[in-house]
Amino acid sequence: MSTGQKLLSPYDKIIHAQNLISEISKLNTLYTEEKATKKDLKKIKKVLLNKHDTGFTSILDKYGIKEIEILKGVKCGICAGKMERFFGCWHCTKCKFTSKTAHVRAIEDYFLLFKPFITNRELRTFLDINFLKRQTNY
Ligand SMILES: [Zn+2]
């Protein structure tokens, strides 16, 4: 870094959604002179939209793995056995290990394997949680 440059915290570069309009207003008062024509802005917009990349590539697609080949459910961190949700905790059916956060790793795996977001239904399916089944079984 050259001398005279101020080191900014990452939080100085982040604008929260609720502050976005006021931050844009501040920028509009700071920069009043137009540097690009409307035609240039349209070209820039088109290029940005065409070159936009979410940065996500599906590992399954890359290696030709089908979704059905991925084991669903929460895996025990101790013995790799299947864990079941019971009274707000995950319980290993094999070694009886108990965890409140065992599902976090499975969700992280989902984001890496499938896509960077998940719906409630997809989450329940992936974690192999069936609330109706549990109501009748317990
Ligand atoms: Zn276990």
Q: What pLDDT was estimated at residue 10? A: 67
For ligand 1, the distance from its centroid to the CA atom of residue 98, given in whole angstroms, is 8
Extract the runs of DSSP E, i.e. beta strands, from 64-130: 74-75, 82-86, 89-92, 98-99
Task: Give the separation between CA 91 and CA 94, rounded to whole angstroms.
Answer: 9
137, pLDDT greater than 70: no
Is residue 30 situated within a structural domain?
yes
Q: Is 77 exposed, middle or buried (0-12, 13-18, 19+ CB in 10 A)?
A: middle
Query: Is 64 domain-assigned?
Result: yes
The domain of 66 spans 59-137
The reply to whether 6 falls in a domain is: no
Question: Distance, CA 135 to ligand 1 centroid (Å)?
Answer: 24
Give the pLDDT confidence of 102-134 residue by residue, as tens digits: 999 999 999 989 988 899 999 999 999 876 554
**Statement to judge: residues 75 and 44 lie in one domain:** no
Read off the pLDDT of residues 23-82 as tens digits, 9 standing for 90 and up. 999 999 999 888 889 999 999 999 999 998 877 888 898 899 998 999 999 999 999 999
Cα-to-centroid distance, 80 and ligand 1 (Å): 6
**Tally of CB atoms within 10 A around 102:** 21
Among candidate residues 71, 86, 126, the one with its CA nearest the CA of residue 104: 126
The verdict on 46 and 67 lying in the same domain is no
pTM over 0.85: no
Residues 68, 99: one domain?
yes
Asked, for residue 81, whether it belongs to a domain, the answer is yes
Please count the structural domains in the chain. Answer: 2
**In a shared domain, residues 93 and 70:** yes
Q: How far is the CA of 57 from the centre of ligand 1 (A)?
A: 32
Q: Is residue 5 part of a domain?
A: no
